[in-house]
Amino acid sequence: MEIHRLISMQPGYDKELFNRIYKETENLRKSLTFQIDPRRYGVTKDIIESWFDDKFIFVFNKYYSKVNNDVLKGMIINALKVFKFRVLRKAYSKFNIYEHSVSLDGELSLINIIPLNEELTDHELFLEMAIKYLKSNLCDDAFLILNLELNPPPYILYKIKSPKTKIPAKLIAEYLDMEKSKDSISYVNDLRSEINFWVNQARVHFNKKICHNQ
């Protein structure tokens, strides 16, 4: 599921570190694999496990040399757990955010990320365009966080005062069954930073389109 995102490893990466973290997270990957029914996908268990291997490689390569080794391991662990949650949602949820457009009910906060001129009265259509733009640029984990913020599940709604309340990163980590640690919250915040970056890019992108069409 992540193999399409894999790129060449960073030049001079620490192979010993890679092998050590890979070995130390082996039981976790097997445990997460065991929690997924391969029949839902028409594949074997070893294929499911290979998806977690691909995720491991992707996260290691993305954050290697950007954070210290302990933080890197923590980010890999959190990413693997988020990935399991994403795989399960794809198999079991009737609302599949990875194969269909996002369901947008009512006026959501995302409506403010892009300018709307007087001629653009169909907000839902415009929002769908924005969602597609973000989905094409965000990593899968960041898009999952975006979806949770746009469509909070009952568990999260029960925990916050109002649907308009910003969901605490700690609560998102709790919902995704991540480690109860600062690294988990940091990972969620990193994904939110990625979302904010591409939201700003979307604003520029659609501004240009509007100016071009006027």
Q: Which tens digits make up the pLDDT trace of 172-210?
A: 888 887 777 787 888 889 889 988 888 888 888 777 665
Same structural domain, 133 and 204? yes
State residue 126's pLDDT score.
64
Q: Could you give the CA distance from residue 45 to residue 30 in angstroms, rounded to a whole number?
A: 10
Answer yes or no: do 42 and 117 share one domain: no
Same domain, 156 and 130: yes
Closest CA to 177 of 153, 211, 197: 153
Does residue 121 share a domain with residue 65?
Answer: no
Are 49 and 133 members of one domain? no
Domain end among 40, 59, 92: 92
User: Where is the domain boundary, 76, 92, 108?
Assistant: 92
Average pLDDT, the chain: 76
- The predicted pLDDT at position 208 comes to 67
pLDDT tens track for 74-94? 888 888 888 887 777 665 443
Residue 90 pLDDT: 61
Are 45 and 131 contained in the same domain? no
Q: Find the domain containing 137 and state its range.
A: 95-214
Give 118-136 pLDDT, tens digit per residue.
444 455 556 777 888 888 8
Q: Are residues 205 and 100 in the same domain?
A: yes
5 plus 22 within the same structural domain: yes
Residue 174 tokens read as 């709790």
Whether residue 128 is found in the same domain as residue 213: yes
Q: Which residue has the higher pLDDT, 131 or 53?
A: 53
Q: DSSP 3-state assignment of 58?
A: helix
pLDDT, mean of residues 9-24: 89
